[in-house]
Amino acid sequence: MFDVRPLTVTIGAEVHGIDLASVDDDQLDELRKLWLDWKVLFFRDQHITQAQHVAFGRRFGELEVHPFAPQDEDLPEIVRISSSAKSPYAASNWHSDVTWRECPSYGSILRGVEIPAVGGDTLFADAGEAYNRLSDEWKERVDDLVAVHDYTKVFGARVPEEKREEMREKYPSTRHPVIRTHPDTGAKTIYTNRAFVASIDGLDDVETKKVMSRLERAIMDPSVQCRFRWQNDSFAMWDNRAVQHCVSNDFWPETRVVERVTIVGDRPY
**Collapsing DSSP states into helix, strand and coil, what is residue 122?**
strand
CA-based nearest residue to 94, from 246, 215, 236, 242: 246
How far apart are alpha carbons 246 and 121 in whole angstroms?
9
Would you say 142 and 178 are in contact if contact means Cβ atoms under 8 Å apart? yes
Q: Catalytic residue, from 66, 97, 150, 241: name it.
A: 97
105 phi and psi angles, rounded to 5 deg? -65, 140
Closest residue by Cα to residue 129 from 245, 254, 9, 264: 9
- Give the length of the chain: 269
98: region left, alpha or beta (phi > 0 left; psi from -120 to 50 alpha): left
Q: Is 95 a catalytic residue?
A: yes
CB 89 within 8 A of CB 158: no
| CA–CA gap between residue 162 and residue 180 (Å, rounded) | 36
From 53, 101, 180, 245, the catalytic residue: 245
For residue 260, what are the β-bridge partners? 79, 110
Q: Which of 95, 111, 149, 256 is catalytic?
A: 95
Q: What values do phi and psi take at 193, rounded to 5?
A: -160, 100
Annotated catalytic residues are 95, 97, 245, 260
